[in-house]
């Protein structure tokens, strides 16, 4: 594995842990795809630093478990804003 990939995997994991970041936020921050974030954390980091990989995976699992709640809140907020602007609810 190339050195810059190892460094990126460690940086990605530290960002996820430090900011309690989602895969999407992490991918955007580093300019990589969501699948690359997953691969960095689940496969590459396991070989480089298993303890860091476990910590990062815990954050990702928590975010995955709660994503349906965040999506529901975002939808609720969207429709609350629409009704405040004078548009009718359906």
Q: Please, are residues 45 and 53 in contact by the beta-carbon 8 Å criterion?
A: yes
Question: Which residue spans within the chain are E strands per DSSP?
Answer: none
DSSP annotation of 43: I
Domain containing 55 equals 3-84
The tens digit of pLDDT for each residue in 45-65 reads 999 999 999 999 999 999 888
How confident is the model over 23-43, as pLDDT tens digits? Answer: 999 999 999 999 999 999 999
Q: Quick one: pLDDT at residue 51?
A: 96
At residue 5, the pLDDT reads: 94
Question: What percentage of the chain reaches a pLDDT higher than 90?
Answer: 62
Does 48 map to a domain? yes
Name the band, by pLDDT with cuts 50, 70 and 90, for residue 89: low
Backbone angles phi, psi at 20, to 5 degrees: 55, 45
Domain assignment of residue 63, yes or no: yes
Residue 90 lies in a domain: no
Q: Domain tally for the chain?
A: 1
């Amino acid at each position: 594995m190339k050195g810059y990939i190892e460094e990126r995997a460690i940086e990605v994991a530290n960002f996820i842990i430090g900011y309690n970041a989602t895969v999407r936020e992490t991918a955007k921050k580093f300019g990589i795809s969501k699948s690359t974030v997953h691969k960095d954390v689940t496969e590459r980091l396991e070989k480089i630093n298993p303890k860091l990989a476990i910590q990062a995976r815990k954050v990702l699992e928590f975010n995955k478990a709660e994503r349906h709640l965040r999506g529901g809140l975002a939808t609720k907020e969207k429709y609350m804003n629409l009704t405040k602007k004078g548009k009718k609810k359906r």
